[in-house]
Amino acid sequence: METLATIDLKQVKENYTKAAESIHKRIVICAGTGCIANGALSVYAAFEEAIQQAGIELFVDLELNRHDDKTNVQLTGSGCQGFCAQGPLVNILPDETMYTKVKVEDVQEIVERSILKDEVIDRLLYINPVDGSKSKGQLDIPFYKRQNRLVLGECGHVDPQNIREYIAHDGYAAAEKAFLYMTPDEVCSSIIESGLRGRGGGGFPTGRKWMLTLAEPSTKKYVICNGDEGDPGAFMDRSLMEGNPHRVLEGMMIAARAIGADEAYVYVRLEYPLAVQRMRKAIEDAMDAGVLGDDIFGSGHNMFIHIMEGAGAFVCGEETALMASIEGKRGMPMPKPPFPAQKGLFGKPTVINNVETLAAVPLIIRKGPGWFNSFGTANSKGTKTFALTGHVANTGLIEVPFGTTLREIVYNIGGGVTNDDGKVTGEGFKAVQIGGPSGGCLTEEDLDLPIDYDNLIAKGAMVGSGGLVVMNKQSCMVQIARFFMNFTQSESCGKCVPCREGTKQMLSMLDDIIEGRATDETFELLEEVGNVVKKASLCGLGKTAPSPVLSTIVKFKDEYLEHIHDKRCATNNCKALASISIDPEKCIGCTACARKCPVGAISGNKKQPHVIDAALCTKCGVCHQVCKFDAVIGFN
């Protein structure tokens, strides 16, 4: 490949665009982790075979090829398209047709009807769970229509493994501008003016962080991209690295220009093999093309980027622990100051930003800070990605401007709350956990709250990295709090006593509550210890570890007290407190439950309603499993 140090990026874009214009149809198959898990690669292979059997000219790389006017097809994979619940996804362009849940056996029909005859296959279209209507493509689906996909804009459209396609979408133009036409001060000032704040959870102004690092008198500085996304249910950074790795690299290059660095690291979770693979390929392709390496863009500046795979420790998402890990040490937090901007990686001034933050930077430099800060609220500019999961119809990866309400996300983009059977319910919303194990709960009264950094902190929650778990009324909030506390306790590095011992004691007290051993003193002590851990822990992860518990105590105090005083879980999620009985209206006396009960707790005459002896019942669930008439109630 010719190096881009001697080729104008605009010429590369023109050549690729010209080649793309001669394509009759483009088939884009989502090749993000979720769709791959559902068989997307087999679907891709089936398309290759079906297209060739149909005698259609097939292209997978349009670099500088020339094509005639006959029917031809470009087949390409993409990164995550966001609509994870509907994968594998197949988009037909320029028709703007999107097929959902595509299987290998559907491929032949798609080629014969949609590619050769321009027909739409109705049965493969998205079905709205609320009204049953069907949508032809992303332009018609509320999940997509009600988002503002800026950072995610190219994910799902460009081939993440094709650097020239990225360049055709104005890729690396912002980096070229920063290195050739802007000073480090001007780069920092543009990011400050944009209002961009860290998307990893802290929300610190990105431009200010860069300016502080620029001011440090050192000939060696580093940039680190924090891709150690460890929150349960969060996959925003993973999807960006998988779907648009060159955008992340370009953001790192601009950050390096801003602070005067020539070397950078991408710290990626070991559990993200596809992200690691695509980031490595992106670096290799950028090196081969001359985008990275010596004298980039003919600027006289050098730039090298390395991949570092983490070992799965949640605490390595904390910046000082992350740097220790890169240095080959055990990943444990260090007290601050000094801050990384003063003394970071290998003792040198260092900027650390998360993936989403860096992916926003090229857009700001290319389109201007005024464009970026036209989105969002007064103190929270731009957009935010969220991993929308839990009891919601449309789970997946979304991006909305700050200031969007929870109601808009859950009911319009998410399609509404579902019950445990997956059906949309009109009034099933109970809460959302936002910000992962470091965040807190929002309830029904918060549905119209504009989501931004300040509003969430005022409600005892936080934006965090962007995990957003929707819970219906069948969810036990004490169990939810225990889930997150169990996670943070397991992931505590153990360096400081408040986090190491405090989270352990909090988890033990939550166990007492859900198993019926707790008293009022337990409840008071739980809150007291939570506040101590919050104030006294060494690092930010420890300080936020009690947040899910403290948040649910405030919002769902009655639910805690019901567990403690009445020894009852209204949702029947707490096995030890579940009230198991047999509905006499449904029981026909078949005796199946009595015959299978391992402790003989069920009695009754044949063809007569049976009863359960609560004193003997161990709540094992066997009776519920064998009953064909749904007569056993109390199991959730």
Question: Residues 568-608: pLDDT tens digits?
Answer: 898 888 888 887 889 999 999 999 999 999 999 999 999 99
The pLDDT value given to residue 200: 85
Give the chain's mean pLDDT. 91
Residues 415, 496, single domain; the answer is no
Q: At which of 343, 372, 401 does a domain end?
A: 372
Residues 489 and 458 in one domain: no
How many percent of the chain have pLDDT more than 90?
75
Q: What is the C-alpha to C-alpha distance for residues 232 and 487, in angstroms, rounded to an integer? A: 8
Report if residue 4 sits inside a domain. Answer: no
Q: Lowest mean pLDDT: which of 36-40, 180-184, 191-195, 419-423?
A: 419-423
**Of the candidate ranges 62-71, 290-299, 388-397, 417-426, the one whose mean pLDDT is the lowest:** 62-71
Q: Which domain holds residue 447?
A: 383-475
Same domain? For 292 and 439 the reply is no
Per-residue pLDDT at 65 exceeds 90 = no
Give percent of the chain with pLDDT exceeding 70. 97
pLDDT at 3: 47
Quote the pLDDT of residue 2. 46
Please check whether residues 470 and 523 belong to one and the same domain.
Answer: no
- Do residues 560 and 431 both lie within one domain? no
The answer to whether residues 433 and 557 belong to one domain is: no
pLDDT at position 611 is 92
- What is the number of domains present in the chain? 5
What does the alpha-carbon distance between residue 470 and residue 412 come to, in Å, rounded to a whole number?
A: 14
Which pLDDT does position 356 carry in this prediction? 96
Any domain includes 115:
yes
Is 526 a residue whose pLDDT tops 80?
Answer: yes
Structure tokens at 85: 């619940």
Query: Do 496 and 454 fall within a single domain?
Result: no
Instruction: Kindly state whether residue 158 falls inside one of the protein's structural domains.
Output: no
Smallest CA-to-CA distance from 399 within 83, 57, 124 is with 83
Cα–Cα dist 176/173, whole Å: 5
Q: What's the pLDDT band for 7 if we cut at 50, 70, 90?
A: low
- Residue 4: the pLDDT is 46
Q: Are residues 272 and 196 in the same domain?
A: yes
522: CATH: 1.20.1440.230
Q: What is the pTM of this model?
A: 0.90
Span 468-472, average pLDDT: 93
User: Apex CA 411: angle with CA 407 and CA 414, to 5°?
Assistant: 115
Identify the domain boundary among 372, 392, 426: 372
Q: Are residues 397 and 366 in the same domain?
A: no
Cα torsion 140, 144, 149, 155: sign = negative
In the block, tokens 């019942």 appear at: 617
* pLDDT tens digits for range 157-176: 899 999 999 999 999 999 99
Q: Same structural domain for residues 550 and 423? A: no
- Is 67 a residue whose pLDDT tops 70? no
The CATH number for 294's domain is: 3.40.50.11540
The CATH number of residue 595's host domain is 3.30.70.20
Q: Per-residue pLDDT averaged across 476-498, rounded? A: 92
Q: Do both 367 and 488 map to the same domain? A: no
Distances (CA, A) of 196 to 204, 380, 618: 9, 8, 55
Position 422 pLDDT exceeds 90: no
**Do both 103 and 239 map to the same domain?**
no
Whether 573 is in a domain gets the answer no
Residue 578: what pLDDT? 80
Average pLDDT over residues 197-207: 90
Query: Is residue 153 situated within a structural domain?
Result: no
